[in-house]
Amino acid sequence: QFSDQKGLRWVNYYPTTPEVCDQVTNMLDVGIVYYEDNKTYEVADWNNIEQKYMTPSMHKPIGKLFSYFSYGIPAFYSPYDSYIEFINKVGGNELLWCCCNNEYGMARKIEILMNDPDLYDRLCNVSYEVAKYFHVSTADHWYKPLLDLMNE
């Protein structure tokens, strides 16, 4: 109903090839990383070598969020600690504005972006700059210490 009222087209598609993924992603103006639920997952705590439990609100892989950013697409996301940690670590603090606790907050922020092209452009630029931190061309700083250690 919201999308009809605002003249928006929602894309909910799982691409089957990298080429199709690229085509679909290039059609997007914003991304949305859905809040799934509040299930509890068992994970290993490697510091204490014991089992503990955590909910997705504590941690979620950054892959989906990072994928949008690598195209310069700002994304609305739920307040997972891992997302907020990632954004803070790479200096994308302006992207914290995109964090939403519920669909009503997200809808309001979509309206704001529709009416503020300068904010939208800034968020696109910050998204792209944040993604550079993990780009393959700069990834050697992640792997060089490991490779040096293996070659000793």
Q: d(Cα 93, Cα 70) in Å, to the nearest integer?
A: 16
Do residues 106 and 76 lie in contact, with contact meaning Cβ atoms separated by under 8 Å? yes
- The yes-or-no verdict on residue 137 having pLDDT over 90 is no
> Would you state the pLDDT for residue 15?
77
Of the chain, the percentage scoring pLDDT greater than 90 comes to: 24
| 44-91: pLDDT as tens digits | 444 444 444 444 455 677 888 888 999 999 999 888 888 888 898 888
Backbone angles phi, psi at 81, to 5 degrees: -55, -40
Q: What is the DSSP letter of 108?
A: H
What pTM, to 2 d.p., does this model score? 0.72
Query: In sequence order, what are the beta bridge partners of 113?
Result: none
pLDDT of residue 140: 66
Token digits for 22? 């690229």
In the predicted structure, residue 4 carries a pLDDT above the cut 90: no
Q: Rg (Cα) of the chain, in Å, rounded?
A: 18
- Find the helix or strand (DSSP H, E) in which 5 lies: helix 2-6
Q: What number is the average pLDDT over the span 98-125?
A: 92
Residue 70 contacts residue 135 (beta carbons within 8 Å): yes
